[in-house]
């Protein structure tokens, strides 16, 4: 019973930001990826379970968007089902936690009405994808997020119509996020760089 209480409380605490603050679907996707990464690294099924619970709230819609002269990838963004499988593999012997995992799997959710738009691209090591200009409305928060399933280093760069840097995420990670509030409506270019040596498929999401 004690294990069940601790596990349930931990999951509720980690998932609480979704309900307590106006997290966007794109930001929720990023947060779930970071929790999942931390859980896998720590071999902590509770963290992974919290990640799956968050990811289940996201309702991404696939688009036909593609990089200029880029290569289309296969698959979809990392799903909550895959996360739960990982959590299960680490929760063997803990009946209480296995029960929580099954509860999350059985939960019904409508997700968000308008989820992020995503496409799947593929990049060789050391290569970059540059996307056609995309419009964002002035005064409304704009978000771009990229994630890969493999352990590579993806960087993200956003520039405005004049080629000026708006946002970049260049930390060593397989996920990258940029968020900003344009002062006026305009078009922006997005560039994804694979700084690693191995090829990878990745999901690019925008709000």
Low-confidence ranges of the chain (pLDDT < 70): 1-21, 110-114
Which of 123, 66, 113, 90 lies closest to 7, judged by CA? Answer: 90
What would the DSSP string read from start to end of 120-177? EEEE-TT-EEEPPPEEE-TTS-EEEEEEESSS--EEEEEEETTS-EEEEE-SSSSEEE
The predicted pLDDT at position 112 comes to 65
Q: What is the 3-state secondary structure (H, E, C) of 17-76?
A: HHHHCCCCHHHHHHHHHHHHHHHHHHCCHHHHHHHHHHHCCCCCEECCCCCCCCEECCCC
- How far is it, in rounded angstroms, from Cα 132 to Cα 113? 26
Report which secondary-structure segment, H or E, holds 192.
Answer: strand 186-194
Tokens read off for 168: 């970049």
The predicted pLDDT at position 113 comes to 61
Name the pTM for this structure: 0.83
For 175, phi then psi, to 5°, come to -130, 150
- How far is it, in rounded angstroms, from Cα 185 to Cα 73? 30
- How far is it, in rounded angstroms, from Cα 92 to Cα 99? 11
Of the chain, the end-to-end C-alpha distance in Å amounts to 41
The predicted pLDDT at position 115 comes to 79
């Amino acid at each position: 019973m004690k294990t069940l209480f601790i596990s349930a409380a931990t999951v509720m605490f980690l998932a609480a930001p979704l309900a307590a603050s106006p997290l966007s679907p794109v930001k929720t996707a990023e947060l779930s990826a970071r929790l999942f990464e931390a859980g896998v690294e720590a071999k902590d099924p509770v963290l992974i379970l919290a990640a799956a619970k968050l990811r289940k709230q996201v309702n991404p819609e696939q688009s036909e968007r593609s990089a200029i002269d880029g290569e289309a990838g296969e698959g979809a963004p990392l799903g909550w089902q895959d996360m739960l499988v990982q959590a299960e593999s680490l929760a063997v012997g803990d009946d209480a936690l296995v029960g929580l995992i099954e509860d999350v799997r059985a939960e019904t959710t409508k997700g968000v009405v308008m989820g992020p738009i995503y496409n799947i691209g593929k990049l060789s090591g050391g290569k970059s994808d540059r996307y056609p200009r995309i419009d964002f409305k002035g005064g409304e928060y704009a978000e771009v997020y990229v994630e890969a399933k493999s352990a590579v280093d993806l960087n993200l760069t956003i520039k405005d119509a004049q080629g000026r840097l708006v946002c970049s995420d260049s930390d060593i990670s397989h996920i990258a996020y940029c968020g900003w509030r344009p002062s006026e409506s305009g078009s922006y270019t997005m560039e994804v760089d694979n700084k690693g040596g191995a090829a990878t498929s990745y999901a690019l999401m925008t709000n």
